[in-house]
Amino acid sequence: MSYPERLPSAAEDSARIRNERAGQRLITAFVLSGLFFMLLPGTFLGVWNLIGISQAHAATALPQSWLQAHGQAQLFGWVGSFIIGIGFYSLTRMRSGRTFPARAGWAVWALWTCGITLRWLAGVTGWKWRMLLPSAAMLELAAFLLFYASVRHHRPQPQAQPGPKPEPKPEPWMRLIIASTIAFLVTLAINCILLVRLALTGDSPALPHVLDQQLVTLAVWGILVPTIWGFNARWLPVFAGLEKPDSRQLFATYLLSVAGIVASFLNRLPVAGALLLFAALLSIRALHVWDRSIHPPKLLNVHRSFPLFIRIAYGWLLLSSLLALPAAAFDRTGGLWGASRHALTVGFVAGMVFAIGQRVLPAFCGMRVLWSVRLMFWSLALLSGGCLLRVASEPLAYAHLWPFAWKILPVSAVMELTAVSLFAVNLGVTLCRPPAHLRRETNLVSLGGAA
């Protein structure tokens, strides 16, 4: 360890605080709009869809554009907004010597939020969709390009040392985040091309089924899953006390997942399934998720079940990959595919965002403390319970193997809706309360007054 060569001046200190506050305000805006997209356009529409499908006893009973609008709101509106918000916030920590790009940040937020909203409205209402869908995709792409440019300009500065300055080599977790950021850009570009083509030649606001599923695979396995692996590699050794990740295995995991995506674009679904299954297995090994913790987990201000839910989330990742194998071989009604996708998006992605998000976001959004650790537990428990009911009953219901399974599906939807609402309330109230240090000061003042 070495000491800094000089202490920061007062001017540098106040610039750092200004940067930090600007970053906190921006990430709070992204988190709040992400929560909104998750709750109403995402989950509420998902529940509505599932109840409609269960009443009609057929997955084809609803317009495809409603299903796609739900998926877009969850993947890009919710998780995408969280990723961009965290990306901007992390710029304030990079000490790149530049001021925080607040203007660009707010422009990105406005473009992104408008794009997501228009995409959802066009899919659900069908109003002027030939104009709205491509405009929405262009707004999303423009927002991400601006975000990408801001991130690239803020590379960390090497430590001041005599002699030539070596380029710092990114750590493995950082490489995963960089790769998934590039995949995000590629996905939005493909999405834009597909929606422009749909507007010119299509006859409804829904993408053709196969193309849509390939786009969903790219978004989930190309962006969401590697982002989670990257942040897990960074944080789990600290938060859950796990052994440091194995960089080589992590790299191999990523290559397997890319190969899986390529195979799914080539319509080689059994090969894609096998590759993604190996990727899931290797990620569990590389990150030591199911090994014993080697340090005590850091559980201050979170529920003590936090490490357990992290491990459960990887169980969902594995189950999703296992279900994809029979789905690729013989699913004709979409039930196994739906169960596999749900295990991945709700069990793994949402489970991980609920667990890690409630751990880090209060601190990122202005040194706050999570409002309720009990709500954190219930949001995670209900999410897992609802996901279990859904994954178990969807293949049986959709294939008409067990009629009672149609009655379980709406129950699973309501359980997940409750889980999502608890998560949103817990984070929403946390962000509306003053930061922990200000509350302590207020308490001290009132105690002083009382004395």
Does 427 bind ligand HEM (CB under 6 A)? Our answer is: no
Minimum distance of ligand HEM from residue 398's CB (angstroms): 7
Q: Which stretch binds ligand HEM (CB under 6 A): 67-75, 83-91, 186-194, 251-259?
A: 67-75
The Cα 104–Cα 124 span in angstroms is 30
Provide DSSP, 313-364.
HHHHHHHHHHHHHHHHHH-SSSHHHHHHHHIIIIIIIIHHHHHHHHHHHHHH
Does 350 bind ligand HEM (CB under 6 A)? Our answer is: yes
For ligand HEM, give the closer residue by CB, 286 or 380. 380
Contacting residue, 74, 217, 232, 264, with ligand HEM by CB under 6 A: 74
Minimum distance of ligand HEM from residue 38's CB (angstroms): 7
Count residues binding ligand HEM (CB under 6 A): 26
Q: Where are the alpha helices (DSSP H) in 154-246?
A: 172-201, 209-217, 225-239
For ligand HEM, give the closer residue by CB, 143 or 327. 327
306 vs 78, 196, 215, 377, CA distance in Å? 22, 43, 32, 8
Query: Residue for token digits 């202005």?
Result: 366
Contacting residue, 31, 417, 422, 424, with ligand HEM by CB under 6 A: 417
Does 43 bind ligand HEM (CB under 6 A)? Our answer is: yes
Does 140 bind ligand HEM (CB under 6 A)? Our answer is: no
CB count within 10 Å of CB 241 equals: 16
Q: How buried is residue 330: exposed, middle or buried, by Cβ count under 10 Å (0-12/13-18/19+)?
A: exposed
Does 362 bind ligand HEM (CB under 6 A)? Our answer is: no
Minimum distance of ligand HEM from residue 68's CB (angstroms): 4
Residues in region 46-65 near ligand HEM by CB under 6 A: 46-47, 49-50, 53, 59
Minimum distance of ligand HEM from residue 317's CB (angstroms): 13
Minimum distance of ligand HEM from residue 245's CB (angstroms): 24
Does 216 bind ligand HEM (CB under 6 A)? Our answer is: yes
3-state secondary structure of 440: helix
Does 317 bind ligand HEM (CB under 6 A)? Our answer is: no
Nearest to 148 by CA among 116, 95, 111, 195: 111
Nearest to 355 by CA among 187, 182, 228, 167: 228
Does 338 bind ligand HEM (CB under 6 A)? Our answer is: yes
CB 73 within 8 A of CB 42: yes
CB 143 within 8 A of CB 77: no
Look up residue 163 and give its two tokens.
Answer: 């002699």
For ligand HEM, give the closer residue by CB, 341 or 368. 341
The Cα 287–Cα 340 span in angstroms is 22
Does 383 bind ligand HEM (CB under 6 A)? Our answer is: no
Does 79 bind ligand HEM (CB under 6 A)? Our answer is: yes
Minimum distance of ligand HEM from residue 260's CB (angstroms): 17
395 vs 274, 388, 411, CA distance in Å? 20, 12, 16
Return residues touching ligand HEM (CB under 6 A). Answer: 43, 46-47, 49-50, 53, 59, 67-68, 70-71, 74-75, 79, 212, 216, 338, 341, 345-346, 349-350, 413, 416-417, 420
